[in-house]
Amino acid sequence: MTDLTGSALASDLPDFSRYGFRIESELGVNRSGGRVTYLATHLKTDQRVVIKQFQFAKSSDWGGYDALQQEGQVLKSLKHIGIPRYLGVFKSPEGFCMVQEYKRAKSLAEPRSFSPDAIRQIAISCLEILTYLQSRIPPIVHRDFKPANILVSDDLKVYLVDFGFARIGDGEVGMSSVVKGTLGFMPPEQIFNRQLTEASDLYGLGMTLICLLTNTPANNVGKLVDVTYQVDFTQLKADLSSEWITWLEKMVQPRLDQRFANASVALENIPDHGLRQPQITLKQSTIDLVANERGELLTTAIALNNTVPETTLTGHWQVAPHSSDPTRSDNYHSWIQFFPADFQDNDITTKIHIDTSQLMSGQTYQRTLTLKSNAQQATHSLTLNVKTAPMPLLTPKGSPYQPLLILLTTCWVAVWVLATLAPESNPQLPGIRNALLLMAIFGNSLGMQVAGWILNELGLKSPAARITSILGAVAVTLVPPLCLLVNVAADITATDSLTAVTTTGLGLISGVVIGVMNGLTIDRFWQRGFKARFAFGLSLSTGLMGTALGLIKGLTLSNPWITFGLIANGIGIGTMLTYMPIQRAKAIGLYRRNVERSLIRP
């Protein structure tokens, strides 16, 4: 049935034209058995066929004749794509001939190289043929399952031939009185002429596959079997996956009851991957991600690599079920996505997208990512840790107390320096102290307006610049009437003009410094979500406290008005500072009730 041309010359080929066939070549010959196989063409249909002839005169053993008749009887009832069809018989003067369908395929006895996937496909095709034979009533045992009787075409179509030793059972599979088969491929029960079952042909198929995997010729198959009929798998284990080793071991178990019960069971249990399995290289076991903004889409990547040649890594990513995550029947995860989730390649980079908009703020989420593949280790797990951004009201943009402390210190130092550097007034001249004080206030008011301009140039979105400018404008408006009340012009005439200019200049400088710091403090609180009135009140109270502390130079705390002012101012600041955490707690509670109620918990 193979496509090899025999060594016989054309003149030596028989003439079968009277039977409707033209002999093309000799495919094989068994001279001691008197059997010859020819490739021929049917003259009417031009169909290529195989003719098997038993030559009476060339054999003293008529076992070949019996085998040919037996094969014809078996093939008559078989119709399967993997078994060449029986076409008829005829008798020639030289011998008995059987005609069978020709398949352009070579036997596995001829040296060839197959990929692991191809060998798996050959195994499946053989099992499908055996399943067909064993489903017959009564079942059929081939009894000579070996490489020479399995034909495989270039496109991996598989055919089972030579049913000369086949046995048709009667009820249970029958037991032959004569041992027939090929040593090395016969199961022990066949060698010892014991009862055969549907598991008997599995042994021959298992040994055939082992010969393919080890490149062992059929006549050397005995080297793979020890005296107890156990097969040595040592030279296979370096190449084959553990599942395939286990499957093959069960196929060739010496004890019949330890093999698969039949071909159908063996086919159901055949590993669903190639004979060799990929090996996955993972460089990480944990993924840690941190979100900086609320609702941020986090992205990371996992690289996979298969180092086993002639294999292809296939797999699927998924997230292990978690009690807090919504359940979906289609393996879709609500906030973790893989791109791609399914893959078939040997160098894969899978991107992972984490949608934190569905998660609670300021929490740490831990999930297990599972990779299921056809690799030697079928399942890999990675731990994903995701830390979400803090709640918007708790975003760490700097503590609100820091600018208050800086403002207090700035006012204190500025007024202290102003009081220290300002020229001393002449106690002999009435009204001079008031005049210098008004000059300082006037300069401070101008400085506040300059500070408002500076803050405006900084591009603050809060009303800090406007408030600062208004404060300066109000102070400048009030200073002239006060000057008239205390007769400032006469006082300045009575004193030094340079002294008045110096005092005004120092006031201007301190006004700029205090005004800028006051505006920045208002802006900070405004950005933190507090109303402008609250920000202004707290900032102004803190500035007044610092100013009062700066004026203590030259005064005494025993002055009841100074003491009262400091205490009253301190109570006001303390009340507003207490209001801040209360408002924040209320805002957090409202946020959690209205927003986080629908979010996924850690």
Q: How far is CA 25 from the centre of its chain?
A: 59
The pLDDT value recorded for residue 4 is 40
pLDDT band at 558, cuts 50/70/90? low
HSE-CB at 49 with a 13 A cutoff on CA atoms is: 25
Measured from the Cβ of residue 257, the count of other Cβ atoms closer than 10 Å reads 8
The pLDDT value recorded for residue 333 is 87
Q: Which fold has domain 280-390?
A: Immunoglobulin-like (2.60.40)
The pLDDT value recorded for residue 145 is 93
Report whether pLDDT(432) > 60. no
What is the average pLDDT score of the chain? 78
Report whether pLDDT(178) > 70. no
More confident residue, 238 or 64: 64
Report whether pLDDT(492) > 70. no
pLDDT band at 6, cuts 50/70/90? very low
Q: Three-state SS for 526?
A: helix
Residue with tokens 């078996």: 74
Query: What is the residue extent of each domain of the chain?
Result: 10-101, 106-268, 280-390, 396-588
% of the chain with per-residue pLDDT over 70? 66
Report whether pLDDT(210) > 70. yes
Beta strands in 31-83 (DSSP E): 35-42, 48-55
**In CATH, what number does 106-268 get?**
1.10.510.10
Cα distances (Å, whole numbers) of residue 197 to 10, 128, 254: 45, 17, 13
Mean pLDDT of 135-146: 91
% of the chain with per-residue pLDDT over 90? 29
The pLDDT value recorded for residue 503 is 67
Note the pLDDT tens digit of each residue in 262-304. Answer: 999 999 999 887 777 788 878 788 999 999 888 889 999 998 8
**Cβ atoms of 207 and 186 closer than 8 Å:** no
Report whether pLDDT(376) > 70. yes
The pLDDT value recorded for residue 561 is 59
CA distance 254 to 244: 18
Report whether pLDDT(154) > 90. yes
**Cβ atoms of 187 and 203 closer than 8 Å:** yes
Homologous superfamily of domain range 10-101 = Phosphorylase Kinase; domain 1 (3.30.200.20)
Report whether pLDDT(63) > 70. no
The pLDDT value recorded for residue 490 is 46
Mean pLDDT of 497-516: 68
Entry field: residues in the chain: 602
CA distance 163 to 75: 8
**Cβ atoms of 566 and 552 closer than 8 Å:** no
pLDDT band at 5, cuts 50/70/90? very low
pLDDT band at 396, cuts 50/70/90? very low
Instruction: With CA atoms as reference, report the closest residue to 140 among 82, 200, 194.
Output: 200
